[in-house]
């Protein structure tokens, strides 16, 4: 059992006497894994005050010192990667074969990238002024950041916020999701081990109500939100009404385009991992697979076999490919999508069933659909791959590009081809934040990550991520 207080403020876990508790349960067994306090306004006030108190001195440390601190944090997380991966498998149901990389190495990788980027970032630069003098352009920390995190890859998303925010000299109040707060106990210990000063990173536990208190708190200068598009829209509206800085990393319905010359085996292996990683609960899952009509049956047969061959079961077993969904509501939602897809005329080629026993399992599914169907338009957030045929005519794959871009989302994409240059030129036509060529690596630790359209506003990751956490000031002489 892991028990965490409602908040972590200035280096200590604290709950006010009135804080309520919530249980964190295993999506595999239903057993209680721990209890966590729910932060109310007292805890949120205290966490924001601690972040405000630490802002001045942290903002004045040198970029080299801030980079070194982020490097130490990456090391501290890496040293505890097995423990963190076990926790993610327990509370999220991430297959243990995936969670070391997907939940921990990715988080440490982002922080390590900022350890390198921060010392060289141009926090101050000068240029000639129009009147013949000079202009000093300063990049100042935006201030106290309210950082709201989803449950699916919590440490990684926290790292995408802590890296650029701390690099910029901001201080942070994190709010984990109620389904997956336990790993944050270890994260806070790692922050102490990394000798990041008290008050620079604080945390409040709880659900939507605590999140609202944080985003609406007058002491917060910027909200960095990752989660669903529906909640992101609400938070952006609330920040807009306060002229509060806000960035949003939201949902996706990303397309993988298979060009007619793509290798069958490599592409199918890559695609299955690209859709089914973390039980299909990834914002960047490549859930729409666009297949050339000339090779449609060949690919659908191979994909159906590969999806049906995935091992579903206890995520702690290292041979498991697919664990449970996060909770009962998530399973009901995925099943509802599949039911409506069938009613719309889609074919479920494999999967979508409920295995016997406890846990919120759905067997991985492959659905043949068209791009106008709900299953091709909405984020399912479960182990469901949708295949869609496009007309390929010689070298003309423009219909694939049109279908890929026909989405309200624009997070990521992938293109598969024997000709890497051709794939890269198709990649450049996609209206998305990042595109992988012949792989599912849609995120580079030192590069910007974020979405076009309703996948969000702003970027985290890379030097570009720092700009979301600074205010520019021009001093003109």
108, 112, 194, 428 from 446: Cα distances, Å: 12, 9, 21, 20
Q: What is the dihedral of CA 122, 124, 127, 129, to 10 degrees?
A: 150
Interface with ligand NAD, residue 275, by CB under 6 A: no
Nearer to ligand NAD, 129 or 228 (CB): 228
Q: Which residue in the set 16, 21, 35, 228 belongs to the binding site for ligand NAD (CB under 6 A)? A: 228
Report the residue from 26, 97, 106, 215 that binds ligand NAD according to the rule CB under 6 A. 215
Distance (Å, rounded) from C-alpha 115 to C-alpha 368? 45
Instruction: State which of residues 11, 119, 197, 207 lies at the interface with ligand NAD (CB under 6 A).
Output: 207
Place of tokens 């604290």: 14
Spatial strand order of the sheet with 2-4 comes to 2-4, 32-38, 20-25
Of 464, 458, 455, the C-alpha closest to 223 is 458
CB 348, CB 342: distance < 8 Å: yes
**Within its chain, how far is the Cα of 154 from the centroid?**
7
The burial class, CB within 10 Å (0-12 / 13-18 / 19+), for 372 is exposed
Point out the residues that are catalytic. Answer: 249, 283
> In the complex with ligand NAD, which residue's Cβ is closer, 29 or 228?
228
SS3 content of the chain, % helix, strand, coil (to 5): 40, 25, 35
Structure tokens at 219: 């002491």
Q: What is the pattern of x (binds ligand NAD, CB under 6 A) and - over residues 449-468?
A: --x---xx------------
> Which of residues 69 and 113 has its CB atom nearest to ligand NAD in the complex?
113
Q: How far apart are CA 352 and CA 136, in angstroms?
A: 59
- Does residue 411 bind ligand NAD (CB under 6 A)? yes
Cβ distance to ligand NAD smaller for residue 417 or 440? 440
- 267 vs 440, which CB is nearer to ligand NAD? 440
Scan residues 278-297 and list those touching ligand NAD (CB under 6 A). 283
The answer to whether 378 contacts ligand NAD (rule: CB under 6 A) is: no
Among 48, 250, 256, 307, binds ligand NAD (CB under 6 A): 250
* Residue 91 sits in the site that holds ligand NAD (CB under 6 A): no
- In the bound complex, which residue of the shown chain has the CB atom lying closest to ligand NAD? 211
Instruction: State the nearest-atom distance from the C-beta of 457 to ligand NAD, in Å.
Output: 11
**Taking CB under 6 A as the rule, does residue 249 contact ligand NAD?**
yes
Binding site for ligand NAD (CB under 6 A): 148-153, 157, 175, 177-178, 207-208, 211-212, 215, 226-228, 231, 234-235, 249-252, 283, 379, 381, 411, 451, 455-456
């Amino acid at each position: 059992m892991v028990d965490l207080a409602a908040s972590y403020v200035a280096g200590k876990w604290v709950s006010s006497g009135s804080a309520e508790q919530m249980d964190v349960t295993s999506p595999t067994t239903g057993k209680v894994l721990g209890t966590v306090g729910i932060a109310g306004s007292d805890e949120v006030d205290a966490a924001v005050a601690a972040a405000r108190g630490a802002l001045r001195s942290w903002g004045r440390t040198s970029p080299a010192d801030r980079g070194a601190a982020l490097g130490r944090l990456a090391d501290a997380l890496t040293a505890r990667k097995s423990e963190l991966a076990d926790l993610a498998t327990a509370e999220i149901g991430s297959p243990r074969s995936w969670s070391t990389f997907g939940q921990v190495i990715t988080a440490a990788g982002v922080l390590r990238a900022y350890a390198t980027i921060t010392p060289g970032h141009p926090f101050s630069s000068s240029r000639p002024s129009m009147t013949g003098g000079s202009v000093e352009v300063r990049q100042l920390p935006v201030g106290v950041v309210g950082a709201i995190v989803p449950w699916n890859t919590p440490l990684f998303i926290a790292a995408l916020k802590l890296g650029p925010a701390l690099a910029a000299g901001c201080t942070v109040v994190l709010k984990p999701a109620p389904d997956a707060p336990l790993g944050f106990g270890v994260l806070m210990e790692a922050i102490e081990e990394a000798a990041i000063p008290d008050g620079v990173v604080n945390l409040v536990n709880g659900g939507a109500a605590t999140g609202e208190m944080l985003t609406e708190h007058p002491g917060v200068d910027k909200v960095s939100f990752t989660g669903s598009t529906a909640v992101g829209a609400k938070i952006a509206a609330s920040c807009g009404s306060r002229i509060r800085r806000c960035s949003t990393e939201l949902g996706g319905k990303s397309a993988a385009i298979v060009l007619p010359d793509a290798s069958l085996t490599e592409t199918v292996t890559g695609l299955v991992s690209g859709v089914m990683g973390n039980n299909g609960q990834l914002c960047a899952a490549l859930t729409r697979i666009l297949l050339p009509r000339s090779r449609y049956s060949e690919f659908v047969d191979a994909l159906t076999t590969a999806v049906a061959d995935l091992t579903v079961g206890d995520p702690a077993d290292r041979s498991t490919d697919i664990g449970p969904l996060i909770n009962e509501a998530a399973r009901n939602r995925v099943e509802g999508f599949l039911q409506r897809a069938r009613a719309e005329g889609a074919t479920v080629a494999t999967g979508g069933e409920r295995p016997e026993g406890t846990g919120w399992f759905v067997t991985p599914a492959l659905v043949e659909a068209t791009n106008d169907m709900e299953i091709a338009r909405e984020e399912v957030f479960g182990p469901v791959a949708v295949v869609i045929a496009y007309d390929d005519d010689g070298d003309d794959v423009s219909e694939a590009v049109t279908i890929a871009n026909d989405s309200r989302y624009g997070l990521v994409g992938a293109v598969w081809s024997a000709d890497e240059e051709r794939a890269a030129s198709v990649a450049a036509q996609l209206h998305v934040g990042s595109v992988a060529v012949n792989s599912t690596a849609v995120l580079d630790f030192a590069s910007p990550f974020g979405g076009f359209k309703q996948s969000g506003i702003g970027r985290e990751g890379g030097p570009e991520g720092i700009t979301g956490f600074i205010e520019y000031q021009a001093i003109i002489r």
